[in-house]
Structure 1
Amino acid sequence: MDNAHNAPTPPSRAEFHQANQARAQVDAQRLLAAKAELGGRWLSWVAAELYTLKPAAYVQMVRRELERLSR
């Protein structure tokens, strides 16, 4: 029997976004909150933190939230 046909379909991009938006906002706020404390080390620290997040689509969501919150 072919298991490929039984595998669940991955969520659509919109479903993924909706399911993870609140968590991405929390992560972005957490990262931004450390900016004052870390000063000049903040950017490299954020890069390292983002590197630990998965999947790539989620990392992009957090980056967009960071950008939005930084305006």
Structure 2
Amino acid sequence: MSESRADFHRQYQAQAIQEAERLLARRDALQGAWLDWVAGELYRLKPAPYAAMVRRELQRLSQA
């Protein structure tokens, strides 16, 4: 039985927020190299829907 998109979101939401916070925490230390680094980190995340969740959380936290 495949899980629904909503179930997937509920299951991984907290983890996606933690991952986005981890990525954002490195921004000051990496400065200009951060964008390339974070792009590589996001590329490695699997599955793709989870990576998209992390990307959205990263954007949301960056705007806060």
Q: Return the TM-score normalized by structure 1.
A: 0.87
Q: CA deviation at 1:37?
A: 0.1
Q: CA deviation at 1:50?
A: 0.7
Q: Matches of 1:16 and 1:39 in 2, distance apart?
A: 33
The size of the alignment, in residue pairs, is 63
**Matched AA of 1:60:** A
Larger radius of gyration: 1
Q: Secondary structure at the match of 2:8?
A: helix
Q: CA deviation at 1:10?
A: 1.6
- Which residue is 1:46 aligned to? 38
- Which residue is 2:13 aligned to? 21
Which structure is higher in helix share? 2
- Which residue is 2:28 aligned to? 36
Q: Return the TM-score normalized by structure 2.
A: 0.96
Q: Matches of 1:25 and 1:12 in 2, distance apart?
A: 20
Q: Percent identity?
A: 59
Q: Which runs of 4+ in 1 moved over 4 A?
A: none
**Structure 2 regions of 5+ residues with no counterpart?**
none
- Which residue is 1:10 aligned to? 2
**Structure 1 regions of 5+ residues with no counterpart?**
1-8
